[in-house]
Structure formats: C-alpha cells, structure tokens
Amino acid sequence: MPATPEDAPQDTPADLRPDRSADPPPNLGSDLPAALLADIALAEELAGAAGELLLRLRADGADRVAADGTADAYLLAELAARRPGDAVLSEESPDDPARLASARVWIVDPLDGTREYRAPGRTDWAVHVALWSGGELVAGAVTLPALGELWSSGAVAVGPDRPVRRIAVSRTRAPAWTAAVAADLGAELVPMGSAGAKVAAVLRGEVDAYLHDGGQYEWDSAAPVAVARAAGLHTARIDGSPLEYNRPDPWSPDLMVCPPGAAGRMVELVTLHREESS
C-alpha cells in the first residue's frame, strides 16, 4: 500500500496523499505468476492513488503544471521506494538513458489529457502506469478518476469480436483520412481526449476502435496498450506493424486499437485513405 502520511515522501505533501483505506481489492487473474500479479497490483494502486490526488488538486483549482508535477512526484517516489531496482520513463521527468540497459522500466503518464483535466466537467483524462520487461509490456493500469474507473491488465475482457461502428479519434487533431475510413466501414467518428480514455471507451463498448496518427509518446500509449492486449484487442501501428517500447527515442508515430477480427480491413482502409490524402 502507499506510504501513510507519517512516512510520506517529502516531495509529496502529506495532506495531498490519497486515502486508500476504502479501496476494493485489485481485480487480478488468479492464473498469472505471483510476481506479475504483484506488479499489476502495484500499477493499479499507483494509478488509482495518483488519480485521487489529481481529483483533489482539480477541486482546489491547481493548474495543470502543478497537478502534473505533483502526480509525477508521487509516482516517482513510490516506484523508487517499492521497486528501487527498476527504471522509470515519465512524461514529466527528464529521460535517463540508463533505462535502455534496465531489465524493467515503468512507463508512466501522471496526467494524460491535460487540456481535458482543466476543462470543467470533462471526464476524458487519465493516469497511466505500465511496466515493460523482457521486450514486452507485462503490466498496465489506466484510471479515469473523474469516472471512478480503473482498467487493469490483470483481468479484463471485451467479449466476442464485433463490427466497427464507432471509432474514437483525437478531439483536437484527428487526421482527415479517418472520416473516409469511417465512411467505408459505415461507422462514425467519436472525438475525445486522452489515449487512456479512448481505450477505456473501447473496453466498455462505447466505441469499437481507436485510431491515432500524428504522433504521441510511449507514455501516452503504454498502459492503455497493455490493458487492451490483456483484453484480447488488436494493438499495433496503423500499418499493422508491431508497437515497440523502451526505445532510445520514445516518440511513437501512430496507433490502432480494434477487435482482432476487424484489424485486417482497418489496416487496408487506413493504408488506402492515408495514401490518398498525402
């Protein structure tokens, strides 16, 4: 569990640390190895606690820079205390190249969707906590604090394959070709903020797929992709090539998340209409 107010790390004020006493136990798959279960539980706990912290800061009127920084300090302090041998890649902290030689790297976004976080009434912002090890994403948790939702790679399922009728896209920079893809599928585009919020929308069935082009960073997609993969969804670049994490340059050009049965047609249409628009 997180440190109590008495032993809270000094870079996170004790009165801002979240109360975890009422939390339900993690929802984890019992057939996973114990060490992995522990990492998933930690990802869930930290994402949830950082989300509570952000809710309190939002209610107090903190600006996004202060909120981002405070949540980042909390996550870094907890990971340093509880996984001291692991490296961390965070949106809000300087990148340490030593992570490239580390066997385990936590990839975190303390606040994904800063624009939405500061917009009154918006709920499409998230906290991402993921663990990369052995060349793969092995654990991930995404919390949508304003909705009280926490999605984890421990145990989540989206049910049987389904047709793509609604596609989540960026609400500020969706590429023009996505409209043509949607038209060919008989689908509609659903703009929203935060990669975590978009993947959560796929998981709950609010939308069926998520398309992104124009670039994002590893911390934007790592935890959402880990959760989506655990749910059996197709996750890849929009040309169908695999996603890679813990690279020297954490920039990631694009992303597709969809039901596996729809992936082939989605890649075909994206390739066609993206080339037409270039």
Is 188 annotated to bind a ligand? Reply is no
Q: Is residue 155 very low, low, confident or very high in pLDDT (cuts 50, 70, 90)? A: confident
Domain boundaries, the chain: 5-152, 166-277
Average pLDDT (171-185) is: 96
Q: What is the mean pLDDT of the chain?
A: 90
User: Which segment, 5-9, 159-163, 200-204, is predicted with the most confidence on average?
Assistant: 200-204
Which of 2-16, 118-132, 160-174 is predicted least confidently? 2-16
Is 45 annotated to bind a ligand? Reply is no
Q: Can you give the pLDDT at residue 99?
A: 98
Alpha helix (H) residue ranges in 60-111? 64-82
Which CA distances in Å does 168 have to 80, 187, 202, 217?
35, 11, 8, 18
Which CA distances in Å does 162 have to 2, 98, 188?
39, 42, 15
Query: Using one digit for the tens of pLDDT, what is the confidence trace for 97-141?
Result: 999 999 999 999 999 999 999 999 999 999 999 999 999 999 999
**Residue 129 and residue 108 in contact, taking contact as beta carbons nearer than 8 Å:** yes
**5-152 matches 166-277 in fold:** no
Beta-carbon contacts of residue 60 (< 8 Å; ≥ 6 apart):
none
CATH architecture, domain 166-277: 3-Layer(aba) Sandwich (3.40)
Is 112 annotated to bind a ligand? Reply is yes
What's the CATH number of domain 5-152, 3.40.50.1100, 3.40.50.300, 3.30.540.10, 2.60.120.200? 3.30.540.10
Query: Using one digit for the tens of pLDDT, what is the confidence trace for 17-59?
Result: 444 333 333 444 557 899 999 999 999 999 999 999 999 999 9
Q: Can you give the pLDDT at residue 30?
A: 56
Is residue 10's pLDDT more than 80? Answer: no
For the chain, the straight-line distance linking the first and the last C-alpha, in angstroms and rounded, comes to 50
pTM of the complete model: 0.89
